[in-house]
């Protein structure tokens, strides 16, 4: 099997510093805020988890694949560095050009490491000619072409090599990043990629929230319960989403719809916070809880769109006992499990097993976290 590997070295850097992506000037803002690369570690986890012997590795140059591959346990599998880079800062043009060159090398599958933007670039170049699999390393990752985490990607590639996957045309979504930074989620279908599927290991597309009356009533009922049960002198970290926003609405507070805010005794302490801002508040207010809602259709409660709530923030809060998960009936009925992908195996393992999900004023369900 010929495996092509392409890494977007800047993908995901905006997550912990509270940005909604790293396209364009956001990359430089992320650097100024101290953002660190995410994709090399995710790519290395994938390669070191891959239990295959009979394959060849075709990698993009330098930071786009070569550097990580040569550090991995499969360094001896690198048979060719495909293409070249013309500047230190990589762009979408590099991804598209190298993906096309990998087609010419007749690779059997391209694995890319990045987010929705990288998926769009690969889709432009590959156009469903060969299977593609994404390793989730961006900020949003709403498309249905990603494994649920790097280790799952390794299992999928192993199954693909043995002919044990279904190849399915999956959606690539286009997210308007400028609108996203302004708390407006605009998503459109950009195209499709052929993706090798193993049940439970590939994420679905994000399902949009709805504004139908029953759904809004359900959100308000959940918010009423949460507000009534809020403890005094406790910092509440509010994740993104319309269901969580209903809590702020109940308190008469303006919520960042797609960001992370903090409240204390019914007052807003911080808006659209990054990891650093959350940790500063936690030093001042050590008694704290996190309120999150799963992403519709995907089930992620951490690791997609709320990377500001980092593994360190979760540890400081005290782990699962101080995490409140809320979801409308409609959303929860469409999920088999909840998912975590924080990038920290210790924290992910701490969160796994079962957690209570508040689904109405009087009702809650237990959901498995994987």
CATH number at residue 182: 3.40.50
* pLDDT number for residue 305: 86
304 with 255, same domain: the answer is yes
206 lies in some domain: no
100 with 240, same domain: the answer is no
164 with 258, same domain: the answer is no
More confident residue, 21 or 273: 273
76 with 139, same domain: the answer is yes
Q: Given 131, 163, 197, which residue is the final one in a domain?
A: 197
Under the banding of pLDDT at 50, 70 and 90, the label for residue 101 is very high
For residue 367, CA distances in Å to 5, 121, 322, 351 come to 35, 36, 16, 12
Tell me how far apart the alpha carbons of residues 322 and 225 are, in angstroms, rounded to a whole number.
16
Under the banding of pLDDT at 50, 70 and 90, the label for residue 19 is low
Question: HSE on the CB side for 194, CA within 13 Å?
Answer: 14
pLDDT higher than 70, residue 181? no
For residue 152, CA distances in Å to 45, 193, 312, 337 come to 10, 18, 23, 15
Q: Given 133, 167, 197, which residue is the final one in a domain?
A: 197
Provide the total of helices (H) and of strands (E) in the chain, helices listed first: 13, 16
pLDDT digits (tens, 9 = 90+) for 325-342: 999 999 999 999 999 999
203 lies in some domain: no
Q: What is the rounded end-to-end Cα distance, in angstroms, of the chain?
A: 30
205 lies in some domain: no
Tell me how far apart the alpha carbons of residues 328 and 3 are, in angstroms, rounded to a whole number.
41
Number of domains making up the chain = 2
- For residue 356, the 8-state DSSP code is E
* pLDDT number for residue 37: 83
Tell me how far apart the alpha carbons of residues 106 and 7 are, in angstroms, rounded to a whole number.
19
167: Cβ contacts below 8 Å, ≥ 6 apart: 131, 194, 195, 196, 197
- The answer to whether 309 touches 290, Cβ cutoff 8 Å, is yes
- The answer to whether 116 touches 142, Cβ cutoff 8 Å, is yes
pLDDT digits (tens, 9 = 90+) for 105-119: 999 999 999 999 999
Count CB-CB contacts under 10 A for residue 224. 15
145 with 292, same domain: the answer is no
Three-state SS at 35 = coil
Tell me how far apart the alpha carbons of residues 232 and 264 are, in angstroms, rounded to a whole number.
8
Under the banding of pLDDT at 50, 70 and 90, the label for residue 183 is low
232 with 115, same domain: the answer is no
92 lies in some domain: yes
Q: What's the rounded mean pLDDT across residues 41-70? A: 97
- Phi/psi for 126 (5° steps) reads -90, -40
168 with 265, same domain: the answer is no
245 with 280, same domain: the answer is yes
Q: State the average pLDDT for the chain.
A: 92
Tell me how far apart the alpha carbons of residues 255 and 277 are, in angstroms, rounded to a whole number.
16
* pLDDT number for residue 307: 92
Angle at 127 between CA 125 and CA 132, to 5 degrees: 85
- The answer to whether 355 touches 362, Cβ cutoff 8 Å, is no
- The answer to whether 270 touches 261, Cβ cutoff 8 Å, is yes
Residue numbers of the domain that contains 12: 2-197
Tell me how far apart the alpha carbons of residues 245 and 326 are, in angstroms, rounded to a whole number.
11
Q: Given 197, 231, 251, which residue is the final one in a domain?
A: 197
Under the banding of pLDDT at 50, 70 and 90, the label for residue 16 is confident
Report the relative pairing of strands 56-59 and 78-81 from DSSP bridges.
parallel
Tell me how far apart the alpha carbons of residues 290 and 323 are, in angstroms, rounded to a whole number.
5
* pLDDT number for residue 27: 63
Closest C-alpha among 369, 334, 338 to residue 215: 334
Q: List the structure tokens of 119.
A: 């998926």
* pLDDT number for residue 102: 98
pLDDT higher than 90, residue 141? no
More confident residue, 137 or 212: 137
204 lies in some domain: no
Q: What's the rounded mean pLDDT across residues 276-298? A: 96
* pLDDT number for residue 209: 65
For residue 142, CA distances in Å to 136, 145, 253, 300, 364 come to 10, 9, 28, 11, 27
183 lies in some domain: yes
Kind plus residue range of the DSSP H or E element containing 5: strand 2-7
75 lies in some domain: yes
249 with 169, same domain: the answer is no
* pLDDT number for residue 180: 64
Say what the pTM is.
0.85
149 with 225, same domain: the answer is no
List residues bridging with 56 in a β-sheet.
2
pLDDT digits (tens, 9 = 90+) for 346-355: 999 999 999 9
182 with 236, same domain: the answer is no
* pLDDT number for residue 10: 87
pLDDT digits (tens, 9 = 90+) for 203-262: 987 766 666 778 999 999 999 999 999 999 999 999 999 999 999 999 999 999 889 999
- Determine the angle formed by the axes of helices 150-161 and 39-49, rounding to 10 degrees: 40
100 lies in some domain: yes
User: What percentage of the chain's residues is helix, strand, coil (to nearest 5)?
Assistant: 35, 25, 40
- The answer to whether 30 touches 138, Cβ cutoff 8 Å, is no
Q: List the structure tokens of 223.
A: 């918010």
96 with 243, same domain: the answer is no
* pLDDT number for residue 34: 76
């Amino acid at each position: 099997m010929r495996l092509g590997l392409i890494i977007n070295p800047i993908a995901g850097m905006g997550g912990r510093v509270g940005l909604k992506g790293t396209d364009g000037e956001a990359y430089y803002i992320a650097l100024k805020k101290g953002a660190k690369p995410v994709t090399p570690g995710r790519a290395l986890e994938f390669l070191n988890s891959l239990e295959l012997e009979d394959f060849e590795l075709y990698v993009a140059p330098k930071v786009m694949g070569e550097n990580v591959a040569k550090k991995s346990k499969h360094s001896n599998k690198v048979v060719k560095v495909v293409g070249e880079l013309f500047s230190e800062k990589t762009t979408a043009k590099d991804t598209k050009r190298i993906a096309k060159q990998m087609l010419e090398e007749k690779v059997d599958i391209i694995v890319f490491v990045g987010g929705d933007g990288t998926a769009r670039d690969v889709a432009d170049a590959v156009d469903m000619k060969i299977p593609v699999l994404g390793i989730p390393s961006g900020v949003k990752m709403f498309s249905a072409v990603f494994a649920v985490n790097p280790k799952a990607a390794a299992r999928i590639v192993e199954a693909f090599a043995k002919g044990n996957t279904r190849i399915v045309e999956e959606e690539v979504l286009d997210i308007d990043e400028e609108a996203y930074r302004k708390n407006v989620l605009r998503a459109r279908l950009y195209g499709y990629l052929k993706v090798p599927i193993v049940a439970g290991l590939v994420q679905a597309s994000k399902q949009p929230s709805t504004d139908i009356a029953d759904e809004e009533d359900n959100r308000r009922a959940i918010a009423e319960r949460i507000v009534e049960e809020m403890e005094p002198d406790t910092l509440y970290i509010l994740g993104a989403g319309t269901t969580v926003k209903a809590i702020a609405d109940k308190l008469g507070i303006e919520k960042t719809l797609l960001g992370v805010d903090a409240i204390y005794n019914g007052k807003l302490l911080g808006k659209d916070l990054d990891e650093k801002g959350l940790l500063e508040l936690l030093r001042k207010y050590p008694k704290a809880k996190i309120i999150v809602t799963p992403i519709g259709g995907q089930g992620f409660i951490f690791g997609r769109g709320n990377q500001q709530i980092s593994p360190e923030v979760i540890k400081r809060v005290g782990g699962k006992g101080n995490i409140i998960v809320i979801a409308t009936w409609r959303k929860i009925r469409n999920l088999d499990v909840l998912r975590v992908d924080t990038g920290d195996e210790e924290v992910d393992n701490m969160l796994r097993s079962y957690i209570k999900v508040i689904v109405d004023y009087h009702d809650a369900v237990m959901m498995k976290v994987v």
